[in-house]
Structure 1
């Protein structure tokens, strides 16, 4: 019989506080992007990189973190990752310019691996019934931390400075990690000898980062054709190398053989398209809220932007719970179609109706809820359409696809705004926002085409 060590209230509370701080650290950038652009003197597309490099690191670390925890023990790996996150938070808070801030964000991105490690620890130290409740609490606190970060980024930046948006959560992470390291019982390392695909992780991260930096360079203007071609060749070489490694390595970080399964590849394509549209909206709205009120914008500061985005964050959190229920009752395909129709119609409407704040707030709520319900339904539908032993692999692949989609959408939105910027003022023209919303709507509508093409072999109804 397995003997489970008691997880004390203080150590359990420290895990909860850690999840709360990580959620806040992840979300402070979104409402503060216009402020960071002004403070650092960077372009719109460069600003998109600040949030995207964190997502890229998360996409790479997520499949690896669970394997490391199973092999070396969840507590040991969690404390190590949190040391990296803390260093990243301090670097971002003390950054003199964009390069150091981006490096700090890269290091902070390993926070995404904290959730599966927390689940390992909870399962190890609690009974099955209590561990399920505890996992729910950890996820809820991480989501709540995202809302706290969205709402508090502005007041902190305006009362202190933008640096403290990163420093304060980092200090909390350090304190909570120290408590976890001291009080949480050690969990024994597992017996798994499954290899860690470090080469694949590096190649995937390099491919995504090279693509995003290349997009900024090419769309920023002034890049000679030879440089643009060299960037394209570099991205293609990295991507090809990653595919080759994943097909040959014994234990790949992303098992590409899963993509041969109709339910899996159709779910990945749908997830990529839906999250790319969401990523565009995620980036466009703060930029539009911040545009000077003497033109077509609203002149909102960081605090105002955070408050305007908060209803959408709440809707996104609620959608994760609703998506699973809706998929079970109506079928994943019906939920995806409904979410796609709502998202596409909302974005196309915002292309012309974006002169009032309430229009944008309602648009954000609708798209956040629809996208969250759709992607969660896809995850649930895919999990039931494949063998139970493949669930972990499929989940990791969809998580990576979801993160890549959001980052890609945000970077494309930044490129659209940069392409439509006034050469004198650098401010995007109103038509650039209209184009961005319209493109986001058309991208979302592609999901309907994917659903139709895969109706006989994709996600189960």
Structure 2
């Protein structure tokens, strides 16, 4: 048999076995072609680095949110402050699964390159903005860009053999954590020494470098589903209803969670009926539609071939509440208890960010070496629960405790950032990595928004209770909060009560109320992470999947030839 004929036969075998997974949640085995001779080379190394840079864009974009209060102080529009951060999350959350679903069928490259191009435009719009509305508009484009860039996580997993995926994910997350650390320091320095606008310009530069790198280094074979179907069949079979229900439902939930308690009261019709109820009903409708009508849609039944997929989605959702939510709220706690200096805030955040960074590679190494993850994941979650709980002991006089506890729970978050991602990728068919991976990221983003909402509500409630317990503090804050009276007039009205001694008492009371409020936030975080540890105990092992299979070969080899030579079987 000729080499070309042999390659074609091998390619046909690859498609048949890769797609031989029944659309039946009861099926637990994935038959995938393996090539023990396939070796990673410089092409893969360059592509993996380029894809990691694309993933860095989302991490770097989030660091601009640490300067939101300086942005609204500069351009006004404080009522839109929450949307400066949430606009990006909303678009990423809604479009991420759509781009992942389409990427599995059409190819992932141009979603990433196109996303990066949109990101350059969005970052420049936000950086040159003179109104809060324009910043939000730029963040909307950045959210679409991040939805494309996060497809890179699945792409990097596809181009490496299954057994090497933990290493690759550790490397990818190390670069992303480095970007987060760099962005946090740069954002603080820009605010202090120049302008917050340069934080967005840095984002634009990162998008440009990432998009160019992916365009020049990433040349994969057509995805398995694309090789099996014609474009006409792919577009006619797309899950349009599922895309609409998922995007609309998630958008409604995020809008409701953003409005609630700020723009509108939680009990208002705008929040309860118009957004939260509609969003929840939409998700229920999506579940019913995907369960009984569209078996190969956004919630492809083959993703549920074992229980790992829903379990690890839950784990990633709570991890989003821990990792992303705590990133935002921890910075706020530092500002309220220790310092308002932007650079000093970044310094206090550093121990947590640094241990999160340097823990990613060891976590990937241990999983690759042991081919085991469940014990390590559960132990890391228990570790995080312990030290986030100890953060409740932090007071303005215990800065060293803050450094110690945040350093230690940062070690745990390094594990929870890497391990669930790889375990989930090894628990689903490789030709659905884009769909599975972007659903995971949307769950993390939703966890972030829900977490911030819950933790902010806890803080506000406990702070209000602490204020009411201090009669003088309540009187001062009540006067200043009166919209009918200007602050100078309000202060003049309560001047008789404000001796030098009482001013100190007021400041001490504010500090005490803030400390108590943040304590209960950390208690809530600790309890949620503990629940996550219990859920993770029920995950299945993935040792059998850590084999030589490579879904999308970049290196010149028989595997790549077979993947490139497959004939479409559909007319």
Task: Between the two structures, name the one with larger relative contact order (CA 8 Å, sep ≥ 6).
Answer: 2
Which residue does the alignment assign to 1:315? 355
Give the TM-score of the pair, scaled to structure 1: 0.77
Are 2:346 and 1:306 equivalent residues in the alignment? yes
Cα offset for 1:149? 0.9
Residues 331 and 159 (structure 1), Cα distance of their counterparts in 2 relative to 1, 3 Å cut: same
For 1:42-441, what aligned pairs fall within 5 Å after superposition?
42=78, 47=81, 49-66=83-100, 68-69=102-103, 74-109=108-143, 110-114=145-149, 116-117=151-152, 140-171=174-205, 173-174=207-208, 177=211, 191-192=226-227, 193=229, 194-195=234-235, 196-197=238-239, 199-220=241-262, 223=265, 225-230=268-273, 231-247=275-291, 248-249=293-294, 251-255=296-300, 258-259=303-304, 261-291=306-336, 297-327=337-367, 329=370, 331-355=372-396, 356-383=398-425, 394-419=436-461, 420=463, 429-441=514-526
Query: Structure 2: how far apart are the matches of 1:260 and 1:74?
Result: 24
Query: Structure 2: how far apart are the matches of 1:375 and 1:135?
Result: 9
Residues 174 and 410 (structure 1), Cα distance of their counterparts in 2 relative to 1, 3 Å cut: same
Q: Is the 8 A contact 1:204 1:242 kept in 2?
A: yes
SS at match of 1:29: helix
Cα offset for 1:350? 1.6
Query: Structure 2: how far apart are the matches of 1:434 and 1:289?
Result: 13
SS at match of 2:328: helix
Structure 1 unaligned segments of length 5 or more: list them.
292-296
SS at match of 2:256: helix
SS at match of 1:351: helix
Q: Which has the larger radius of gyration?
A: 2
Residues 406 and 217 (structure 1), Cα distance of their counterparts in 2 relative to 1, 3 Å cut: closer
Structure 2 unaligned segments of length 5 or more: list them.
8-40, 465-476, 482-509, 543-571
Are 2:502 and 1:459 equivalent residues in the alignment? no
Query: Structure 1: how far apart are the matches of 2:319 and 2:260?
Result: 25
Cα offset for 1:186? 7.2
Residues 287 and 262 (structure 1), Cα distance of their counterparts in 2 relative to 1, 3 Å cut: same
Residues 390 and 14 (structure 1), Cα distance of their counterparts in 2 relative to 1, 3 Å cut: closer
Q: Is the 8 A contact 2:119 2:146 kept in 1?
A: yes
Which residue does the alignment assign to 1:294? none
Which residue does the alignment assign to 2:15? none
Query: Structure 1: how far apart are the matches of 2:479 and 2:286?
Result: 42
Query: Structure 1: how far apart are the matches of 2:188 and 2:178?
Result: 17
Cα offset for 1:303? 1.9
SS at match of 2:450: helix
Q: Deviations over 1:372-414 (max 9, x none)?
A: 3135333444555566666665444433323322332123223
Cα offset for 1:153? 0.7
Q: Deviations over 1:344-369 (max 9, x none)?
A: 22222222323233333333332332
Q: Is the 8 A contact 1:89 1:166 kept in 2?
A: yes
Q: Is the 8 A contact 2:54 2:210 kept in 1?
A: no
Residues 254 and 55 (structure 1), Cα distance of their counterparts in 2 relative to 1, 3 Å cut: farther
Q: How many residues align?
A: 444
Counterpart selection for 1:443 from 492, 512, 528: 528
Residues 343 and 320 (structure 1), Cα distance of their counterparts in 2 relative to 1, 3 Å cut: same
Residues 116 and 235 (structure 1), Cα distance of their counterparts in 2 relative to 1, 3 Å cut: closer
SS at match of 1:161: coil
Residues 87 and 211 (structure 1), Cα distance of their counterparts in 2 relative to 1, 3 Å cut: same
